[in-house]
Amino acid sequence: MTPEADRLPTGPALGDRLLTLTAGPPAAGGTFVARHEGRVVFVRGTAPGETVTARLLEDPQEQASARFWRAEALDVLEAGVDRVPTVWDEAGVDGVGGAEWAHIALPAQRRIASEVMQDLLRRAGVTSYPTEQVQVEPAPHDADGLGWRTRVRYAVDAEGHVGMRGWRSHEVRPVGEDPLSARAVRELRLGEWTAPAGTEAIDAVAPSAGPASVVLIGRDLDPDAVVIPESWGEADVAVRTGRGMVPLRGDGTVHERVGERLFTVAATGFWQSHRRAAELLTEVVEATLRAPHGGSAWDLYGGVGLFAAVAAAQVGSQGTVVSVEGNRRASQHAEENLADLPQASTATADVTDWVRARRGGVDAVVLDPPRSGAGPELMELLANAVRQRIVYVSCEPSTLARDLSAIEKKGWRVVDLRAFDLFPHTHHIESVAVLEPTPG
Ligand X SMILES: C[S@@+](CC[C@H](N)C(=O)[O-])C[C@H]1O[C@@H](n2cnc3c(N)ncnc32)[C@H](O)[C@@H]1O
Interface residue list for ligand X (CB under 6 A): 270-272, 301-303, 306-307, 325-327, 330, 350-351, 368, 370, 395
The least CB distance from residue 305 to ligand X, in Å, is 8
Residue nearest to ligand X (CB): 303
Phi, psi of 332 (to 5 degrees): -65, -40
Is residue 432 within 8 Å of residue 397, measured between CB atoms? no
| Nearest C-alpha neighbor of 271 from the set 303, 248, 239, 237 | 303
Long-range CB contact pairs, 37-44, < 8 A, 24+: 39/68, 39/69, 40/67, 40/68, 40/69, 41/68, 41/69, 41/70, 41/71, 42/68, 42/69, 42/70, 42/71, 43/70, 43/71, 43/72, 43/73, 44/70, 44/71, 44/72, 44/73, 44/93, 44/100, 44/167
Task: Give whichever of 226 and 404 is closer to ligand X, judged by the CB atom.
Answer: 404
Task: Give whichever of 132 and 350 is closer to ligand X, judged by the CB atom.
Answer: 350
Is residue 324 within 8 Å of residue 298, measured between CB atoms? yes
The least CB distance from residue 202 to ligand X, in Å, is 21
The least CB distance from residue 114 to ligand X, in Å, is 22
Q: Provide the angle, in degrees to the nearest 10, between the axes of the packed helices 306-315 and 277-288.
A: 30
Binding-site annotation: residue ranges for S-adenosyl-L-methionine:
272, 301, 325, 368
Task: Give whichever of 40 and 385 is closer to ligand X, judged by the CB atom.
Answer: 385
Task: Give whichever of 175 and 382 is closer to ligand X, judged by the CB atom.
Answer: 382
Binding-site annotation: residue ranges:
272, 301, 325, 368
Is residue 394 within 8 Å of residue 370, measured between CB atoms? no
The least CB distance from residue 190 to ligand X, in Å, is 24
395 included as an active-site residue: yes
Catalytic-role residue among 267, 366, 395, 401: 395
The residues that are catalytic are 395
